Structure 1
Amino acid sequence: MSRVFQLAQAVKLSLILGMTTSTLLLGSHLKVDADSRTTAHRQLQNTKVKLAQNSPAISRFQTLAEADELYQKGQLQAAENLYRKVKPDFATSDRRRTAIYEVEQLPGDGQVYWRNANEGLQQNLDSKIFLPLQLLLSNYPEFIKGHLLLAEACDKKPEACKSNAKDGQPKNALEVLERAVELYPDDPELLKAKIKALAKEQRFLEASIAARQFATIYVDYPEAPEFEKLAEKNLQRHHSKLNDDLRFQGIFSTVVGGVKAFSTKDWQSGVSGFETISMLLQGESAFGKEVADKLVKQYQQEGKLLEDPQVLNYVRGIGGRLEPLMGRKFDYEYYVIQDSEINAFALPGGKVFVNVGAILGTNSEAELAGLLSHEISHAVLSHGFQRVAQSQFIRGLSNVIPISNMFQEMVGKEYSRENERQADILGTRVLSKAGYAADGLRNLMATLNAKSGGKEQTSWQSTHPAPAERVAYLEGLIKSNNYNRYAFEGVKKHQEIQNLIQGIAPSQDSKPAASQPAKKPPKGKPNSRTKPTRGIVAIAAGLTRDNIEIRIDGGKVESDRNFTINFIVENRSDRAFAFVPLYAEVVTESGKKLKTRFSSAQAQVPAGGSIKGEVQVLGQSWNSQGSQNLTLVIKESTGGGRIFRIPF
Structure 2
Amino acid sequence: MKIVGKFILLLAGIAALYFGLSQVNWSKLFELDEKQEKLEKRLGKLVINELENTMTIIRDDSVKQIVDSLFNPLASKNGIPRKSYKIMVVEDSQINAFALPDRHIVLTTGIINFLDSANYLSAILAHEMAHCEKKHVMKSLITQFGLDLLLSGSGTSEVTNFLTGQAFSRKLEREADEQALVYLEEARVDPKSLQQVMELFDVYLTGDLDLTWASTHPSPSDRKAYIEAKIETLDADADYRSPIQSSTWKKLQLLIENYSPEVD
Relative to the length of structure 1, the TM-score reads: 0.33
**Cα deviations by residue, 1:170-219 (Å, 9 ceiling, x for unpaired):** xxxxxxxxxxxxxxxxxxxxxxxxxxxxxxxxxxxxxxxxxxxxxxxxxx
Aligned equivalents of 2:192 and 2:50: distance in 1?
A: 31
Cα 1:483–1:336 change in 2 (3 A) is farther
**Cα deviations by residue, 1:548-590 (Å, 9 ceiling, x for unpaired):** xxxxxxxxxxxxxxxxxxxxxxxxxxxxxxxxxxxxxxxxxxx
Match of 2:254 in 1: 499
Of residues 346, 349, 352 in structure 1, which corresponds to 2:105?
A: 352
Aligned equivalents of 2:75 and 2:43: distance in 1?
A: 17
Question: Which SS does the other structure have where 1:337 is aligned?
Answer: strand
The higher relative CO (CA closer than 8 Å, separation ≥ 6) is in: 2
Match of 1:466 in 2: 219
Match of 2:45 in 1: 290
Match of 2:125 in 1: 372
Which residue identity lines up with residue 347 of structure 1 in the other structure? L
Aligned equivalents of 1:369 and 1:408: distance in 2?
A: 25
1:482 aligns with 2:229: no
Aligned equivalents of 1:398 and 1:431: distance in 2?
A: 35
Question: Which SS does the other structure have where 1:363 is aligned?
Answer: coil
How far off is 1:367 after superposition?
Answer: 0.4
Aligned equivalents of 1:397 and 1:360: distance in 2?
A: 35
1:316 aligns with 2:68: yes
Which residue identity lines up with residue 424 of structure 1 in the other structure? D
How far off is 1:331 after superposition?
Answer: 1.8
Which residue identity lines up with residue 515 of structure 1 in the other structure? E
Structure showing greater radius of gyration is 1
How far off is 1:390 after superposition?
Answer: 3.1
Which residue identity lines up with residue 167 of structure 2 in the other structure? E
* Structure 2 gap ranges (5+): 1-25
Aligned equivalents of 1:483 and 1:349: distance in 2?
A: 35
Match of 2:94 in 1: 341
CA contact (8 A) 1:364 1:491 kept: yes
Cα 1:419–1:319 change in 2 (3 A) is same
Cα 1:358–1:483 change in 2 (3 A) is farther
Question: Which SS does the other structure have where 1:390 is aligned?
Answer: helix
Question: Which SS does the other structure have where 1:496 is aligned?
Answer: helix
CA contact (8 A) 1:438 1:485 kept: no
> 1:120-131 alignment to 2 at 5 Å?
none
Match of 1:413 in 2: 166
* Structure 1 gap ranges (5+): 1-236, 247-277, 504-511, 518-648
Aligned equivalents of 2:187 and 2:33: distance in 1?
A: 36
1:381 aligns with 2:134: yes
Cα 1:331–1:455 change in 2 (3 A) is same
CA contact (8 A) 1:438 1:484 kept: no
Question: Which SS does the other structure have where 1:341 is aligned?
Answer: coil
1:436 aligns with 2:189: yes
Match of 1:47 in 2: none
Larger helix share, 1 or 2: 2
Which residue identity lines up with residue 514 of structure 1 in the other structure? P
Aligned equivalents of 1:472 and 1:398: distance in 2?
A: 39
Cα 1:244–1:467 change in 2 (3 A) is same
CA contact (8 A) 1:432 1:484 kept: no
CA contact (8 A) 1:339 1:357 kept: yes
How far off is 1:334 after superposition?
Answer: 1.4
> 1:516-531 alignment to 2 at 5 Å?
516-517=263-264
Cα 1:321–1:353 change in 2 (3 A) is same
How far off is 1:336 after superposition?
Answer: 1.0
Which residue identity lines up with residue 216 of structure 2 in the other structure? T
> 1:59-74 alignment to 2 at 5 Å?
none
Aligned equivalents of 2:182 and 2:262: distance in 1?
A: 40
Q: How many residues align?
A: 236
1:514 aligns with 2:261: yes
Aligned equivalents of 1:460 and 1:346: distance in 2?
A: 11
Cα 1:487–1:288 change in 2 (3 A) is farther
Question: Which SS does the other structure have where 2:261 is aligned?
Answer: helix
How far off is 1:405 after superposition?
Answer: 0.7
Cα 1:470–1:240 change in 2 (3 A) is farther
Relative to the length of structure 2, the TM-score reads: 0.76
Question: Which of structure 1's runs of 4+ aligned residues deviate more than 6 A?
Answer: 396-400
CA contact (8 A) 1:292 1:351 kept: no
Aligned equivalents of 1:244 and 1:308: distance in 2?
A: 39
Aligned equivalents of 1:242 and 1:454: distance in 2?
A: 49
> 1:145-224 alignment to 2 at 5 Å?
none
